[in-house]
Amino acid sequence: MGQSRAELSARLRTAQRRELLQHHVPAAEILRDLPALQRIGLNTALFFLRQHWPHIAGSALASHSIPWSLKDGVLSVKTDSPLQRQELTYALPRILRIAQDHLGDVAVQSVRAAHP
């Protein structure tokens, strides 16, 4: 016996991993097929905006606001106070430009402050 049990187990795990990777399907494709997500809609652009919000809005504004919805190209942003809502209105052109740079002009056509 030239190989130990541990070596054989490691080779088996490696072979199994290789087999799984050959049949790899991106998670987004799997999620798209789930009936519940088809009903509510999987909005990957909104998910991206939420994940990168500090970069897009700036850290000060991002700590008091969140991208709330993205429907028909209109990004609605919710703030936690009237003062932050006013700050958001000043930042809207910059936020729109950065969001369009990342997602394209079609995905984000305008940005507005969401009504409380």
- pLDDT tens digits, one per residue of 49-73: 999 999 999 999 999 999 999 988 8
**Residue 27: both structure tokens together:** 């998670």
**pTM (2 d.p.):** 0.63
Q: What is the pLDDT of residue 58?
A: 93
Which of left, alpha, beta for 108 (phi over 0: left; psi -120 to 50: alpha)? Answer: beta
User: Phi and psi (nearest 5°) for 69?
Assistant: -155, 160
**Residue 46: both structure tokens together:** 């909104």
What domains appear along the chain, each with residue ranges and CATH number? Answer: 1-42 (no CATH), 43-113 (3.30.300.180)
User: Phi and psi (nearest 5°) for 108?
Assistant: -125, 105
Q: What is the pLDDT of residue 116?
A: 65
* Beta bridge mates, 112: 76
User: Which of the pair, 38 or 17, is modelled with greater confidence?
Assistant: 17
